[in-house]
């Protein structure tokens, strides 16, 4: 069984406890590295990134919506919005037309 470890935070220098429970949780998630930041510095860093963990989860920025940009669908000419800045060198499609032309994923 794992034992609590004392780790020094790389951001603020505070020593924090990496508990045996936390170590087991990390192992269950497949993480192989120990945390480098204390809980408060981790929370601050997460807030700087908009709350996103970068581990999937299906939402952008911890529940925030991505900025949307206006565009005109290259297939049907309908005004639409997309979650990226259209550059003009590639066609942009509304969701309906995109679903029609996009091959199904397996």
Within 8 A by CB and 6+ apart from 93, the residues are: 73, 74, 75, 80, 101
Within 8 A by CB and 6+ apart from 106, the residues are: none
pTM for this model (two decimals): 0.44
> What residues form DSSP beta bridges with 16?
7
**What is residue 57's predicted lDDT score, i.e. its pLDDT?**
47
List the alpha helices (DSSP H) in 3-104.
20-28, 39-48, 95-101
Does residue 19 lie in a domain region?
yes
**What is residue 76's predicted lDDT score, i.e. its pLDDT?**
94
pLDDT along the chain (106 residues), means of 10: 89 91 90 90 85 49 70 92 87 89 72
Does residue 106 lie in a domain region?
no
Does residue 20 lie in a domain region?
yes
CB of 73 closer than 8 Å to CB of 97: yes
> 11 and 42, same structural domain?
yes
- Write out the residue range of the structural domain in which residue 43 sits: 5-48
Question: Between vectors from CA 26 to CA 56 and to CA 53, what angle results, nearest 5°?
Answer: 25
Q: How many domains does the chain have?
A: 2
- CA-to-CA distance for 78 and 92, rounded, in angstroms? 11
> 78 and 43, same structural domain?
no
**What is residue 51's predicted lDDT score, i.e. its pLDDT?**
57
> 44 and 9, same structural domain?
yes
């Amino acid at each position: 069984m794992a034992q609590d470890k004392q780790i020094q935070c790389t951001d603020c220098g505070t020593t924090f406890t990496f508990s045996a429970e936390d170590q087991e949780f990390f192992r269950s998630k497949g993480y192989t590295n120990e945390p480098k930041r204390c809980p408060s510095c981790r929370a601050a860093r997460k807030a700087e990134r908009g709350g996103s963990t970068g581990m999937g989860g299906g939402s952008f920025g911890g529940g925030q919506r991505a900025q949307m940009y206006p565009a005109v669908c290259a297939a049907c000419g309908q005004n639409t919005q997309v979650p990226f800045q259209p550059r003009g060198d590639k066609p942009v499609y509304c969701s309906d037309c995109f679903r029609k032309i996009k091959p199904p994923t397996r």
